[in-house]
Amino acid sequence: MARSPITGKTAVYGIVGDPVAHSLSPLMHAAFAEAVGADLVYVPFHVREAHFAAALAGLPALGVCGVNVTVPHKERAHALAQELTPEAAGIGAVNTLHFVDGRVLGHNTDAAGFSLALDDTGLDWRGRTALVIGAGGAARAILWALGASGATAIHLANRTLARAEALAAAFPQFPIHPLPLDRDHLTPLLHEVGLVVNTSSRGLHGEGHPELELARLPKTGIICDIVYNPISTPLLAAANSMGLRTVDGLGMLLHQGAASFRLWTGQQPPVAAVKEKLEQWLA
């Protein structure tokens, strides 16, 4: 993609993570900037956990305007931000930092990104009984979005039960029920589950979810995977072949990114057009 030359006036943004080399965010933000004609660059910063605090002090000192924060730094960014939006405070994780007048502002656009991606499908996803798989960092914003959208019950299944229990305890305001990720515990619940969200890293390397008997879900069930590379995970492919509605992780990536871009620049990027570009890159 051709971009205008960097000048002394070009604004610098980026993403801080470990690993970060696989991230689609630099391509996505370059496409956003090109589409709206913004003079900015978006740089991948590979920052190890031990160096995060030093990086966070150095970025605004260098005049960087804002960064996205990804694995494993979102909770640390939450702890170190000087001001938090109510959503970032409630979720307990920050994915967007904005450096304004010497202050470090912490936002979370993941929950809104997830909700907007589901809204885009036109499916009636709110107020259902949900099953969330995985209780790592990525689950926090999903639980928040589901709780805020009025999910009647949220079953939280994780390989390590203690992590699901700890996460449920962190959100006492939502009806979260932790359980182990195994067939015996999942099977009796499935007939009432209207929305399944995989937040675990299962699916990144071609693994499926053998303990999840999709045939037991209601026919109106929606299956969502926040893994976006590959776009169609084995879970989504299996659900598609059974005629269930599926939502891939690309929409959430785009909407959380667009929300960060809007916070930083005040401009709304064209999500649908950039989605097409990302699909071509991932194909």
Residues that bind ligand ATR (CB under 6 A): 71, 134-138, 158-160, 163, 181, 200-202
Cβ-count burial 223-243 (b if 16+ within 10 Å, e if not): bbbbbbbbebbbbbebbeeee
Sign, Cα dihedral of 266, 272, 273, 275: positive
Query: Catalytic pick from 9, 74, 219, 277?
Result: 74
Name the closest residue to ligand ATR (Cβ): 136
Least distance CB 51 / ligand ATR (angstroms): 19
Nearer to ligand ATR, 121 or 201 (CB): 201
Least distance CB 90 / ligand ATR (angstroms): 18
Nearer to ligand ATR, 159 or 177 (CB): 159
* Contact of 140 with 195, CB cutoff 8 Å: no
Sign, Cα dihedral of 186, 189, 190, 194: negative
What's phi and psi for 41, nearest 5 deg?
Answer: -120, 155
Residue carrying structure tokens 């909770």: 75
- Report the first-to-last Cα separation within the chain, whole angstroms: 17
Query: Among 93, 126, 97, which residue's Cα sits nearest to residue 111?
Result: 93
Nearer to ligand ATR, 191 or 205 (CB): 205
Nearer to ligand ATR, 69 or 190 (CB): 69
Least distance CB 92 / ligand ATR (angstroms): 12
Least distance CB 200 / ligand ATR (angstroms): 3
Is residue 219 among the annotated active site residues?
no
For the annotated catalytic residues, the residue numbers are: 74
